[in-house]
Amino acid sequence: MSLLETRGLTKTFGGLRALSDVNLSVEQGELVSLIGPNGAGKSTLINVITGRLRPSDGDIRYDGQDIVGMDPHEIAQLGVGRTFQTASIFPERTVRENVEIAAHAVEEGSFSVNFFRRRDYFDDVIERTDTVLETIELEDEQELEAKSLPYGDKRRLEVAIGLATGPDLMFMDEPTAGMSPTETEMTVELIEQLREEWGMTICLVEHDMDVIFGVSDRIFVLNEGELIADGTPSEIRENETVREAYLGSDVV
């Protein structure tokens, strides 16, 4: 059984089909990427899977469970996390507080169920926050206000916030956008670490084709809401339909 599976997934906005009959599956431990020209439907797909948008039609199964209609926090509690393209950071809070808030949000379910687990609950949040700060290498910056971080560190904090919710599957929305080559390299190493050491399943949305073709097991290509290809990096490179979708842009 695949970890994530969509069948006939469709999302319309008025007359526009932002997603049209998308069938895809992601296996446990895979690193997949989602690519496609601007407006192809990548963000819509993530938003529909993570519960921020309701699909107009189709099924989504996560770990065998039908998740259509669930709230975003319920889907997060099942283990589906995400980082955000736009800043999801509280600027006046410290780096540590930002990570703690995310860790709290996902632990909340267990807290409200049993008050006497409170002690464990806080210990868990602190431990999880420490682990995330160490992994993302933001320990030295943890007491700084988030707004004072340089751009690259802010982007890493976005990843840290996603990680703090303890996902098994994480959507990463353009994690290297606007980064310097050195920062991009660090982010690629981090992605590989999350996958190898944390056993995380990752779905990456990226415009940097060197990153995409370098790290992905499989690539999904969306174009005008349709999944036009699904294959290994070398299969995608040789795919005629993909070349046509990107015609003239010289990306593949």
The yes or no reply on residue 39 touching ligand ATP (CB under 6 A) is: yes
The yes or no reply on residue 249 touching ligand ATP (CB under 6 A) is: no
Burial of residue 130, with CB atoms counted within 10 A of its CB: 0-12 exposed, 13-18 middle, 19 or more buried: middle
Task: Tell me the C-alpha distance between 138 and 157, whole Å.
Answer: 8
The yes or no reply on residue 13 touching ligand ATP (CB under 6 A) is: yes
The yes or no reply on residue 233 touching ligand ATP (CB under 6 A) is: no
The yes or no reply on residue 44 touching ligand ATP (CB under 6 A) is: yes
Q: Find the radius of gyration of the CA atoms of the chain.
A: 18
Query: Site for ligand ATP (CB under 6 A): how many residues?
Result: 11
The yes or no reply on residue 38 touching ligand ATP (CB under 6 A) is: yes
What backbone torsions phi and psi does residue 7 show, to the nearest 5 degrees?
-135, 120
DSSP 8-state code for residue 141: G
Structure tokens at 158: 């976005």
* Cβ distance to ligand ATP smaller for residue 20 or 187: 20
Q: How far is the CB of 9 from ligand ATP (least distance, A)?
A: 12
Could you give the string, one character per residue 84-103, with x where binding to ligand ATP holds by CB under 6 A and - elsewhere?
--------------------
* Cβ distance to ligand ATP smaller for residue 192 or 224: 224
The yes or no reply on residue 18 touching ligand ATP (CB under 6 A) is: yes
Burial of residue 1, with CB atoms counted within 10 A of its CB: 0-12 exposed, 13-18 middle, 19 or more buried: exposed
Structure tokens at 81: 């996390």
